[in-house]
Amino acid sequence: MNKPLTNMQARDADAILHPYTPLHKVREIGPLVLERGKGIYVYDTQGREFIEGMSGLWCAALGFSDEELVEAGIEQMRKLPYYHLFGAKGMEPAIELAERLKEIAPMPVSKVLFSSSGSEANDTQIKLAWYYNNALGRPQKKKIISRIRAYHGVTIVSASLTGLPNNHRDFDLPVAGILHADCPQYYRYGQDGESEAEFVARLAVNMRDLIEREGPETIAAFIAEPIMGAGGVIVPPDAYFPALMPIFQEHDIQVISDEVICGFGRTGNWWGCETMGLAPTTLSCAKQLTSAYAPLSAVLLPPQMVEAMEDQSRKIGTFGHGFTYGGHPVGCAMGAKALEIYQKRDILGHVRRMAPVFEKRVAALAEHPLIGNSRSKGLVAGIEVVADKATKRPFTPAQGVATKVMDFAQARGLIVRAIGETIAVCPPMIITEAEINELFDRLTGALNDAEAVVDREKLRTA
């Protein structure tokens, strides 16, 4: 029998359509209604404490109670709570944040275009790639290469870029012109007897074949997360992006780095592309841009694209793109303050100091009987649940063992996320060594709880 819902849970179930949730099970699950946060912890309406092991959705880098960041938002709210950037209007917070982003960018940047979410930023990237090629007189150069298991958002185009079946199924996606190349996960997609170096070489050959088969004159851009987040925290081999870059350069294919999850220190560098050897033409960022305290995203554009766009604007008479909340003064003020905090508190240095502790605990989980592969970089990790460690055979989706782990973790006061059969971990970047150990102690307990159910219900042989 399901536990009766509290009044707050019942109100939630009656009023809210929950994203990325089995909608038919909301009343059965019982929503976790949160009330407040402090540091790496959040608290529900019953006063229960949880380590937020996912930074919300990979984004609350400074935790849930940074007063300096809150004050920056309050100050801006009192000064100018809203304005826009349409029609050559400007605001100091947007100017300051754009300047700061240009200073830390991993490639030459001329200008910054703001929007509200990572989905909007990646959708904008594709529009601008098309616009740019039209400006250059290359109307056929429009196809975009993404990858299987990539995640780039939920707008029509960004969801099409996403290489996850449930983001396409019954939404009539993907749209035409989106290509999906190999997923760079050696653990799952390496062939029998194939070394990691041979795996990378095969993926590079496949990429070149894809481009030549489609026609390089038809391909505008390649988009990639340096580390794939919602596809299961997939860390590609170190040689992967360096092997692909010459192919894109040879065929004049724009490289878009989707830094929505990896940006602002998560991997131990300002940008995930710096960690993983990807050399972008343009860059999308969001989430940790404001430590998620306000919705904001940005697209960083190089001089050659801006020049072509300005020429096209001269021809057309305007630049017909933008969002009501793109460059919102409160979001920009908080973004500028977040970048200031990251620098003056040496958050990058803190991530680098904590990463060995974090990575050691992640690696140790590979010994657990439920875990086939554990992987991490900086302060983000994926722990893959399997039914058979030797053959890598997963449990069936109906068995939902990773979901059981997630639920047991929540019962132990830890919020993580089950992505297919992978448990994702991505704590606030302010986490301490003691808190890392407490997080993984709770997660290990949840794995033991799930293992007991697997044994009792004989799920490995079911």
The class of domain 68-344 in CATH terms is: alpha beta
- Site of tokens 């749209």: 175
Cβ atoms of 109 and 102 within 8 Å: the answer is: yes
Mean pLDDT by runs of 10 across the 462 residues of the chain is 83 92 90 96 97 98 98 98 97 98 98 98 98 97 98 97 96 97 98 97 98 98 98 98 98 98 98 98 98 98 97 95 97 98 98 98 98 98 97 94 97 97 98 98 98 96 80
pLDDT for position 74: 98
Burial 374-401, CB ≥16 within 10 A → b, else e: bbbbbbbbbbbbbbeeeeeebbeeebbb
Cβ atoms of 178 and 160 within 8 Å: the answer is: yes
Give CA–CA dist 206/208, Å, rounded. Answer: 5
Give CA–CA dist 166/164, Å, rounded. Answer: 6
Cβ atoms of 268 and 275 within 8 Å: the answer is: yes
Return the DSSP state at 298: E
Q: Where are the alpha helices (DSSP H) in 59-117?
A: 67-79, 92-104
Indicate yes or no: pTM above 0.85. Answer: yes
> Helix, strand or coil for residue 304?
helix
For the chain, what is the radius of gyration of the CA atoms?
Answer: 22
Q: Count the Cβ atoms, other than its own, within 10 Å of residue 203.
A: 24
Question: Cα dist. 237→106, 186, 280 in Å?
Answer: 20, 7, 18
pLDDT for position 1: 46
Q: Map out the domains of the chain as residue ranges.
A: 32-65+346-456, 68-344
pLDDT for position 29: 86
CATH number of 32-65+346-456: 3.90.1150.10
Question: Cα dist. 258→184, 218, 273, 461 in Å?
Answer: 16, 22, 9, 40
pLDDT for position 462: 72
